[in-house]
A and B are shown apart, each in its own frame.
Chain A
């Protein structure tokens, strides 16, 4: 399907569908996610059977704050779709895990948990993946500094760029 056809087809099912720069994306509530993904996979003319990518963007000040993006691909038809889920900030932002239908999401979800602190309900083994196990905080949140954090190595710390000596 061309992006235009896909856009038209998806508007019959979802309220919020956007076609921009030749890419189709739709935004959903976390509770709608699993049902929508199953539908997108099982409709023969859509057949989104491949999860290319899963990641998150942090928008402090927006409501909801975290936007988890799922990049789907249909290996049969070759079209792509971005599904975005807005997750409200709170004690613990939560999204249902898609690992049961897309096993490839396993490490992606661990990475989003590690970097953004978004919890994926139903993930079989949700732990940090890139950062050390004892790391405090979630480094890709916009509220985390680039530097100036204490490293895990005893006695070592990196000052922020503007406070470094020559």
Chain B
């Protein structure tokens, strides 16, 4: 933490960034301004909080974002529709499959196509595994920040086992670009269902272990109960969704209210708590991991053989991809086919890969339930080969606005617990 007293030498007239931020706060004479972040271990990346303190008590707070802005929305406008998937996956990097899914569902609604059943099941499978992985990172980092370092080690250990499965499926641990317009980029490797099945058993036991460690732990209770309270009415006013909203007693879940990929056919519960505090959010997330395990188990049972990409040659990606030692690549057989056997196939490949698909003009808004809440994709097409506009309604971006309400009147140490309970991912916030 650095105090903001004084200005940097050599800029007598330019206001400092902290001065700009505090202008609208109406700072009192007897309080102190403290910058927490953007490079602070507890700020989940590069979030900066400008805190107004009276002793140890927080009287005001301004979250400052933008340190991880990478222009994803602008960049997509210069790429083909298919390439968009590789961009959005980098927004909320702890929920890459959800970003890909939201974007692809939006593009599919514009195109008027629907992914085949096997692709839908695979999408459910990978997104729900992704939800567990994301909640595990949340548990791990929150444990670390509140002094439960063993939870940090356990959380990352288990998440790594899930990422191993993702690597087997997509070739990459993160930023997969696996969900594509019209389906998924390639079928599951043969051994994956068995590996996922084995993983489910392990995770079930491990989640029970976390609960044993934390749910009755008096220190955990003191650090989280009654901390960062945000009641349902405030949540709705501020647009807060996801586990924060469900911990405040509102059973809103996009998977149940506006189902996608046939997830309404799966049996699962939407966990709800009434405490509206950091402890309630912990309980909701733990239970959500269990429910995701349930969904994944059902998805494994529903994996029927079939295509994983729509048949329409104007939409489907022409290449036959497979996971090799260095990630995803063209299968040798396919390369032989287009280079040695069929000129038409080569022309078609070249045309679709370089020019992409044409998407009819129109606009859609498609929400999916990411681990952090409603992840919405507003996608506009002008009929061309590039997305005209893609806006990502990232739940972290919206939920972070609630931080001043969460921390006001509390202690500085509780700011850490409150921010952790929001589970912001700055890659999604700043895009």
Contacts and interface: CB of A to CB of B under 8 A. Distances in A.
B24 interface: yes
B257 A78 contact: yes
A130 B430 contact: yes
Interface string B400-419: 11000000000000000000
A106 B401 contact: yes
Given A139-B74, A146-B74, A146-B78, A125 B391 contact: no
A21 B364 contact: yes
Interface stretch (B44-52, B209-217, B235-243): B235-243
Given A71-B365, A78-B257, A107-B398, A53 B20 contact: no
Interface residues of A, number: 37
Interface stretch (B163-171, B301-309, B373-381): B373-381
A132 interface: yes
Contacts of A106: 401
Contact of A129 (B20, B65, B237, B362): B65
Contact of A53 (B17, B364, B365): B365
A132 B364 contact: no
Interface in B183-198: none
A21 B110 contact: yes
B364 to A, nearest CB: 6
Q: Which of B75, B240, B380 has the most CB of A within 10 A?
A: B380
A102 B393 CA distance: 16
B362 A21 contact: yes
A141 to B, nearest CB: 10
Contact of A103 (B65, B237, B374, B400): B237
A52 B74 contact: no
Contact of A139 (B20, B71, B391, B430): B71
Interface string A117-135: 0000000110111111100
Contact of B398 (A20, A58, A104): A104
Interface string B358-396: 000011110100000010101010000000110101000
Q: Give the bracket for the number of chain B residues in contact with chain A.
A: 35 or more
B250 interface: yes
Given A20-B362, A104-B398, A127-B20, A52 B69 contact: no
Q: Classify the secondary structure of A's interface with B.
A: loop
A80 B252 contact: no
A34 B104 CA distance: 33
Nearest to B63: A107
A69 interface: yes
Nearest to A54: B393
Interface in A119-164: 124-125, 127-133, 139-140, 146
B258 interface: yes
Given A52-B376, A53-B365, A71-B376, A131 B66 contact: yes
A160 to B, nearest CB: 11
A49 interface: yes
B365 A80 contact: yes
B397 interface: yes
Contacts of B362: 20-21
A55 B391 contact: yes
B74 A103 contact: no
B355 to A, nearest CB: 18
Contacts of B24: 124-125
B192 to A, nearest CB: 33
A49 B367 CA distance: 17
Nearest to B25: A125
A146 B386 CA distance: 14
A25 interface: yes
Given A71-B393, A75-B252, A104-B239, A53 B74 contact: no
B397 A107 contact: yes
A130 B77 CA distance: 18
Interface in B333-378: 362-365, 367, 374, 376, 378
A133 B393 contact: no
A8 to B, nearest CB: 21
B310 to A, nearest CB: 17
Nearest to B391: A55
Nearest to A161: B78
30 contacts: A50-B236, A50-B239, A51-B239, A52-B365, A52-B374, A52-B376, A52-B393, A53-B365, A53-B376, A55-B391, A55-B393, A57-B363, A57-B380, A71-B365, A71-B378, A75-B250, A78-B257, A82-B363, A102-B239, A107-B400, A107-B401, A115-B73, A130-B66, A130-B69, A140-B74, A146-B71, A146-B74, A146-B75, A146-B77, A146-B78
Given A53-B393, A115-B73, 17 more contacts: A21-B112, A22-B109, A52-B239, A57-B389, A58-B389, A71-B393, A75-B236, A82-B363, A102-B239, A103-B239, A104-B238, A107-B401, A127-B20, A129-B66, A130-B65, A133-B20, A139-B74
